[in-house]
Amino acid sequence: MNKEKLKVDPIKNGTVIDHIIAGKALQVAEILNIGNSDNEIMLGLNLLSRKMGKKDIIKIENREITKQEANSIALISPTATLIIINEYKVIKKFGIVIPKKIKNHIVCPNSNCITNIEQVKTKFELAGNNPIEVRCFYCEKKYYIEEVKFSF
Amino acid sequence: MKNLISMRDVNTQDILKLIDLAEKIETKKCKPDMSGKLAALLFFEPSTRTHFSFETAVKKLGGNSFSMSGTGSTSVKKGETLSDTLMTISMYADIIVMRHVIEGSARFASEIVNIPVINAGDGTNQHPSQAMLDLYSIKKTQNTLSNLTVGMVGDLRLGRTVHSLAQALSDFNPTFYFASPKHLQMPKYIKDDLDERNIKYEEIEDIKEVMSELDIMYVTRIQKERFAVLEDYEKVKDSYIITKKLLEGVKSNFKVLHPLPRVNEITKEVDDTEFAYYFQQARNGVFMRQAIITEILKLKY
């Protein structure tokens, strides 16, 4: 029997976000704003994974994650997979796509960038996939995703 | 071309078109007419050469301009936001030429005003009109832009001209040697761009090793104003000095370029050699800036 399954109960209807990079689940939860919802939520942190060594997992009862929400997750954990569950059955399973353009969600780490000085929404473009890098549309500096902060 | 903000936006076709137009203007094969148009030359960060070069270009085109240099006598000092300053100026002028210490400021300006914007330097980021005049100078001295070996010397980390030029030359299969003190090396994001485009480059500490291979040596000043601590500046300021002796054995087509102003990185004796080209380069700047304004304002010629 799979030990992972023993640790987190199955859900009847909703979304399972699996293969989240270990330690990132709380950030993903923040993006999805699930702390303020009434849905039943299960969070698994640092679970053993054959694929990843360690991983986090989130199960959300009665909520289907939208594509836009999934793309936001991709920035933090591109490894994540989404599983939509209906009556305990997997009805959809998909990997998430890192968006090519990211508006408004990344704070530019360059303190001399105009986005940190004037009231202007940030725009970033995907500049590398492995590892993930993003480039500020304004100051043109490039950063690893781990170097940036998010604002949702 | 609606604005000139970054060399990342300029394609090979644009580059060749602007060089062709600058050449026609220089050789008086055409005379664009800017009469009745007004340029706002907004140098929030003071500059001599770029400012005067644009001012000269506007005058030679028959246009008018008004300027600011520094923010001392403006409402910026009273706390006005950059966007308010730009919006107001855009009510008066037909084109904005802008230098600002904040990176991305020119891109931001181009988004909020409805007149064209030319970036005359935004912090350590881009200086595209300089890159274009450098390309024009290289084309004039080498008769081509393709397959050249270019050495860049000095402060490659903070000097925006080398960033723009490296990107601009990438369309023409160059080989680069980047000679700089270790902590002033070309930034990773520029090198990543070069890697993506399979451009050959090598980082070296001493330009001497490769002098005989170079077609162009592009020298930059170690910029005092970019250092927070004066001692750090003193440590590196004499690191890369070009002397007449260093030029012994270079190729006959070899030229030394420098965006100016220089401090001590090229000795005065080099000025008298056939290899010095930096003052002609400054002159080329006027023709290139005339070409850029002509293209952006779609002036008749």
Highest CATH level, class, for B7-126+284-297: alpha beta
pLDDT band at B76 (very low <50, low <70, confident <90, very high): low
3-state secondary structure of B17: helix
Tell me: pLDDT of A5 over 70.
no
Q: How confident is the model at residue A1 (pLDDT cuts 50, 70, 90)?
A: very low
Are the folds of B7-126+284-297 and B128-282 the same?
A: yes
Q: How far is A100 from chain B (nearest CA, A)?
A: 17
SS3 A57: strand
Return the higher-pLDDT residue of B113 and B241. B113
Residues 6 or more apart in contact with residue A100 via CB below 8 angstroms: A125, A126
Most B-contacting residue of A140, A141, A147 (CB-CB within 10 A), to test interface = A140
Question: Which residue of the set B2, B8, B29, B49 is catalytic?
Answer: B49
Which of B37, B51, B99, B140 is labelled catalytic? B99
Among the residue ranges A59-73, A86-100, B237-251, B263-277, the one predicted with the least confidence is A59-73
Asked if residue A64 lies in contact with residue A84, where contact means CB atoms within 8 angstroms, the answer is yes
The hierarchical CATH code for the domain B128-282 is 3.40.50.1370
pLDDT higher than threshold 90 for residue A10: no
In sign, the C-alpha dihedral spanning A111, A144, B174, B13 is negative
Q: β-strand A81-86 against A14-21: which pairing, if any?
A: antiparallel
Question: CB B125 to CB A115 under 8 A?
Answer: no
| Interchain pair A115, B104: CB under 8 A | yes
Looking at the complex, does the CB of residue A109 fall below 8 Å from at least one CB of chain B? no
A130 at interface of B, judged by CB pairs closer than 8 A: no
CA distances from B273 to A57, B109, B154, B172, B281 (A): 69, 42, 21, 28, 15
Distances (CA, A) of A125 to A87, A130, B111: 39, 14, 17
Q: Is B99 a catalytic residue?
A: yes
Active site residue B107: no
pLDDT at residue B228 in the model: 75
Angstroms from B228 CA to nearest CA on chain A: 14
Beta strands in chain B (DSSP E): 38-43, 64-69, 95-100, 117-122, 149-153, 175-179, 200-204, 216-219, 255-257
Segments making up each domain of chain B, as ranges:
7-126+284-297, 128-282
Q: Is B163 annotated in the active site?
A: no
Q: Which residues contact B102 (CB under 8 A, 6 or more apart)?
A: A112, A113, A114, A117, B82, B122, B123
Q: pLDDT tens, A49-63?
A: 988 999 999 999 999
Residues of B with CB below 8 A from A133's CB? 192
Of A110, A118, A119, the CB nearest to B103: A110
In this prediction, residues A68-86 reach a mean pLDDT of: 86
What value does the mean pLDDT take over residues A29-46? 86
pTM over 0.95: no
Long-range CB contacts (< 8 A, 24+ apart) of A98-103?
A98/A71, A98/A74, A98/A126, A98/A129, A98/A132, A99/A71, A99/A74, A99/A75, A99/A126, A100/A125, A100/A126, A101/A125, A101/A126, A102/A75, A102/A126, A102/A134
Element (DSSP H or E) covering residue B161:
helix B160-169
A103/B contact by beta carbon, under 8 A:
no
Residue B102 pLDDT exceeds 50: yes
- Neighbouring residues of B134: CB distance < 8 A, sequence distance ≥ 6: B161, B165, B168, B218, B257, B259, B281
Mutate to test the interface with B, among A119, A125, A139 (most CBs of B within 10 A): A139
Quick one: how many helices (H) and strands (E) in chain A? 3, 11
Q: What is the pLDDT of residues B203-244, one digit of tens each?
A: 998 898 899 999 999 999 887 776 778 887 887 777 688 999
Q: Stretch A116-143: mean pLDDT, rounded?
A: 92
